[in-house]
Structure 1
């Protein structure tokens, strides 16, 4: 069994382990990830995103499937301060998760979940991706960074990570979530989670009574991806 580690330190401080759970799926979580003004700036930027820049989120193969995923997404959202902070902790995250991010570059989107939105259990990289050589197979590390108004004007929206992971060289139908234990990670403002793209995970349904865009659960999620020459 391996460790899932929660930490509560800023990027420029040594990581401290505050809790350890026995799990076969490693998750690294850091709270108060950015300086407070930087996190508030990202939130303001997300809230002021032009509606024309937001599109319905899609699933693998660029398919629109509202039974599997319902949210809005913005692929051109600027978040340079977040990428700088991720780079600052990459060495420590590599040690926790047992991966190497050498020769990678970030790819990410802003994702907006409002009332009733969700993303059912899925993997960011599957054995099928590895076998067929699709772009997703270059993903080395998944990250999700959360910002929202405080106190949170919504409930739900936890990241549920299942206690199992499929090695990329295993060729079968994949995982069934009903066969796995799980742990929920709340979408706390200015927190980030890192985990392996092969981990089975989902976004639990969000309840946002006001329905106002500014009251949404905002998340910048993406991957560190191997470059073509890596």
Structure 2
């Protein structure tokens, strides 16, 4: 049975069962938000690995510098009936005879230690999701209710940031603290948007959902913006409130914050309303962007909230939407090494012939538009000189790709291709490869990556956006899968999928430092005429 020693004042030095040797060295679990966490495990339970699995990736990442260190020592009392005792700074602070409870307590106390020890960030109890480039924060200590609402928002496509802390920097942006999401003690495994393989970018704080009291039959929270809208964040701050830090947080976030305050809503209905009203705000902002009524996104968000949540009668809940992850295939070592080297040599030799890449405009012609795309493309004739390296291997994987991508058989038409180089600042905004009638027959998109070794750029990831499947059709979602451009690898995905090339950052302006890629498209050809009943084609 677990028990907690609440006095936190027992001097371990007077305990005969606590033994410390000069050779003991604590193991670092990682550095996050300027706080290094160490553990000295005298139990033989392998606590470091177990605790690490319960911590957010932001905390167990390596390479950060620490301005504070917290060290936990865990020892065993009486091997015949073991009791595990945790010591921090010479004081025993927790004891239990249940190993699972020990791991859970350590993980949660580490969370608190990081929140209190961080010098540059403000930690607020609560949950966070990202949607359309804004952070939605649910502050408070009602862990179960917050987790339910966060989970429902994530199931509808929002990006998971935390169900424990909202972490604010001095500019008022929200950073992730992605502890494994649990509901009623059960870790959630169906929330595919909890992505630990990519860095969740800091987001501006857009909305706070301040809830309290029993649920109401109809959810009509008050809508606040500007003055006093940040009070729910203040009330949920972790640890002692430093007046200077508190004033800075309030001053930074209040001008662009919308707060919804009311009773706890039903998670399913509220999640739909919250995401939809953010969508409405973005549409309204875009429509009025060039008018005198433009204002900021906060003005449109507050207006959308009042309209949606206080209209008579109450709007019905948005129909259920199904989020579909874009399928893709990634093949390593696609070309023989000699062929890959020949391709790279060819690209470097003809550097001077690479021209600015275009995008297909309304007229169906390629136009250079650096607001949408920045890269350089080798002229088709010059690329044809090495095309024979690709055609055989590419056609060889077509049947496999169709099966893995779930694309029905189609008669093969032309195989379109181009070789591009993304230099410093290169990118391609979200788009589909079938967005104009001249490209409507594209079915499978393929990207082959290659670069000198070692790679001298970072960024340039392929971001494959998910898709909403609704009763009225499909549309792109605000969540995605990230594919790293590995040397000599081929990635295939449906041409109808929204995707983008993330910005490229090179070590120098040298052409050889670019992100090189061969992009290819399998087109659908004309389908054969069906045979007549007598076996003859009409």
Is the structural similarity TM-score above 0.5?
Answer: yes
3-state SS of 2:440 partner: helix
Where structure 2 has 5 or more consecutive residues not aligned to the other structure, the ranges are: 1-190, 193-323, 529-538
The answer for the alignment partner of 1:67 in structure 2 is: 371
CA distance in 2, matches of 1:142, 1:166: 21
The answer for the alignment partner of 2:449 in structure 1 is: 146
Whether the 8 Å contact between 2:325 and 2:480 is mirrored in structure 1 is: no
Residue 219 of structure 1: how far off its partner (Å): 0.2
The answer for the alignment partner of 1:93 in structure 2 is: 401
Whether the 8 Å contact between 2:450 and 2:487 is mirrored in structure 1 is: yes
CA distance in 1, matches of 2:440, 2:422: 26
Q: Highest CA radius of gyration, 1 or 2?
A: 2
The answer for the alignment partner of 2:480 in structure 1 is: 182
CA distance in 1, matches of 2:406, 2:388: 25
Whether the 8 Å contact between 2:450 and 2:515 is mirrored in structure 1 is: yes
Residue 102 of structure 1: how far off its partner (Å): 2.8
Q: 1:154 to 1:125 in 2, by over 3 A?
A: same
Residue 75 of structure 1: how far off its partner (Å): 3.9
Structure 1 or 2: more helix by fraction: 2
Residue 59 of structure 1: how far off its partner (Å): 1.1
Aligned residues: 197
Residue 63 of structure 1: how far off its partner (Å): 2.0
1:200 aligns with 2:501: no
Q: 1:75 to 1:152 in 2, by over 3 A?
A: same
The answer for the alignment partner of 2:467 in structure 1 is: 164
CA distance in 2, matches of 1:227, 1:74: 26
The answer for the alignment partner of 1:39 in structure 2 is: 340
1:81 aligns with 2:386: no
3-state SS of 2:498 partner: strand
Where structure 1 has 5 or more consecutive residues not aligned to the other structure, the ranges are: 1-20
The answer for the alignment partner of 2:350 in structure 1 is: 49
3-state SS of 1:220 partner: strand
Residue 103 of structure 1: how far off its partner (Å): 2.3
Runs of 4+ in structure 1 deviating by more than 6 angstroms, as ranges, are: none
Whether the 8 Å contact between 2:506 and 2:514 is mirrored in structure 1 is: yes
CA distance in 1, matches of 2:507, 2:329: 31
Q: Does 1 or 2 have the higher relative contact order (CA < 8 Å, sep 6+)?
A: 1
Whether the 8 Å contact between 2:334 and 2:490 is mirrored in structure 1 is: yes
The answer for the alignment partner of 1:15 in structure 2 is: none
3-state SS of 2:416 partner: strand
Whether the 8 Å contact between 1:154 and 1:216 is mirrored in structure 2 is: yes
CA distance in 1, matches of 2:469, 2:357: 25
Residue 125 of structure 1: how far off its partner (Å): 1.2
3-state SS of 1:181 partner: strand
